[in-house]
Amino acid sequence: MKNITKEDVDRLGISHPDKLSAASKRALLWPKIGNEWFGEFEVFDLKGDLAYEEGVVRRDPSAIIEEDGKYFVWYSRSVGPTQGFANDINKDKVFPWDRCDIWFATSEDGWTWKEEGMAVGRGKAGNYDDRSVFTAEILAHNGKYYLTYQTVKSPYTVRVKNQVGIAWADSPYGPWTKSEEPILSPADNGIWLGEEDNRFKVVKKGDFDSHKVHDPCLLYFNKQFYLYYKGEQMGEEITFGGRQIRHGVAISDNPLGPYIKSPYNPISNSGHEICVWPYQKGIATLITTDGPEKNTIQWSSDGINFEIKSVIKDAPHAIGLNRSLEVDKEPWAAFEWGLTHQYMNDDYQYIRRFHGRRVTTHVAKGENPG
């Protein structure tokens, strides 16, 4: 145990420095992190076309970009209820994100949104993206616009492997040109057990991304294109009370690829949807939903090796960060406001707006915060 100073004892309220509890021993080892990494969220309804609409799924909002005084967002859109896998998967919708296209909306104030229409649609029958294109992210770079998104080819079985596609345009309004082939695929080193359409029965699980590559998010970092993504593993287990979900990154010199998966993958041990942003010459990430490090903000100087900076209260899911904000001044500047989605029920989800704020005082009404 490092030598305990009088300031440590006073600040941590330790009564008997010669009798340290396990908790006090841990507290003495905490890094000197300021409050700037800690905060909490509030979520609000949107107005206009992105307000909840019975019968329509709008979910997994992309980051927001600002062009010509307007905000833009892209999202998964489908209609009708979800039937699941029990009946005829060739007629039914197996997930809310099945049979989706990618639509976009614009807003002048980030509260009232106008649905502009479809940006990227599903491909022709037999294409890798013929069943659904969903969960998009946007990168504006050097006057061009890049959408990365998930794709699935029919039939949408339980064991089907999702991939990632990319589309590009000279304007946020499109028109969009889609990649002929996926730019990212799951690892092929898992082995299914038997023929039953069951994703838990495996001979070998394979890499963390042996079943699905999801939530692609493209950042331009250190003069290269970093494609962050969520992996789902064949034979997925429940661990630490949640799904075994890890993040990876694939890197390219060219926005259209080829993307090479980092040998350091997985670069997280927890998480779900990807929420990453450039911060202080490195990359910050909000890890949510699953795993022992869920609800943490992490930062890396190299975009690969992330360290925990804070634990926060429940974070909104499927965050679309606001790329128009000045985010370098402090970690929570990135969370001033942005978009998220919420489940109204298992069939329909809708997009909402979050506001993040740092926690710096806790006082009663009328009390002086000191």
* Nearest CB to ligand AAL, comparing residues 271 and 278: 271
Structure tokens, 233? 């593993």
DSSP run (H or E) holding 341: strand 337-343
Residue 82 in the binding site for ligand AAL (CB under 6 A) = no
Residues 86-125 that bind ligand AAL (CB under 6 A): 97
Structure tokens, 334? 């990135």
Least distance in angstroms from the C-beta of 8 to ligand AAL:
42
Percentage helix, strand, coil for the chain under 3-state DSSP, each rounded to 5: 5, 40, 55
Least distance in angstroms from the C-beta of 354 to ligand AAL:
15
Q: How many residues interact with ligand AAL (rule CB under 6 A)?
A: 11
Q: Tokens 């082939």 appear where?
A: 181
Residues 244-283 that bind ligand AAL (CB under 6 A): 272-273
Residue 49 in the binding site for ligand AAL (CB under 6 A) = no
Q: How far is CA 366 from the centre of its chain?
A: 39
Residue 77 in the binding site for ligand AAL (CB under 6 A) = no
Residue 149 in the binding site for ligand AAL (CB under 6 A) = no
Residue 236 in the binding site for ligand AAL (CB under 6 A) = no
CA distance 96 to 261: 29
Q: Other C-beta atoms within 10 Å of 197: how many?
A: 14
The one among 77, 93, 214, 353 contacting ligand AAL by CB under 6 A: 214
Sequence-ordered list of residues with C-beta below 8 angstroms from that of 353, at least 6 positions apart, any chain: 43, 44, 45, 46, 110, 111, 337, 338, 339, 340
* Nearest CB to ligand AAL, comparing residues 149 and 168: 149
CA distance 317 to 296: 13
In this structure, are residues 101 and 123 in contact, taking their beta carbons and an 8 Å threshold? no
Residues 51-70 that bind ligand AAL (CB under 6 A): 60
The one among 49, 98, 137, 215 contacting ligand AAL by CB under 6 A: 215
In this structure, are residues 60 and 76 in contact, taking their beta carbons and an 8 Å threshold? yes
Residues 290-329 that bind ligand AAL (CB under 6 A): 318
Give 298-309 as a DSSP string: EEESSSS--EEE
* Nearest CB to ligand AAL, comparing residues 207 and 215: 215
* Nearest CB to ligand AAL, comparing residues 214 and 246: 214
* Nearest CB to ligand AAL, comparing residues 93 and 214: 214
Structure tokens, 35? 């409050």
In this structure, are residues 52 and 347 in contact, taking their beta carbons and an 8 Å threshold? no
Q: Is 271 left (phi over 0), alpha (psi -120 to 50) or beta?
A: left
Residue whose Cβ sits closest to ligand AAL:
135
Query: Which amino acid is it at 100?
Result: C
Residue 135 in the binding site for ligand AAL (CB under 6 A) = yes
Least distance in angstroms from the C-beta of 230 to ligand AAL:
6
Least distance in angstroms from the C-beta of 213 to ligand AAL:
10
Residues forming the site for ligand AAL (CB under 6 A): 60, 97, 134-135, 150, 214-215, 230, 272-273, 318
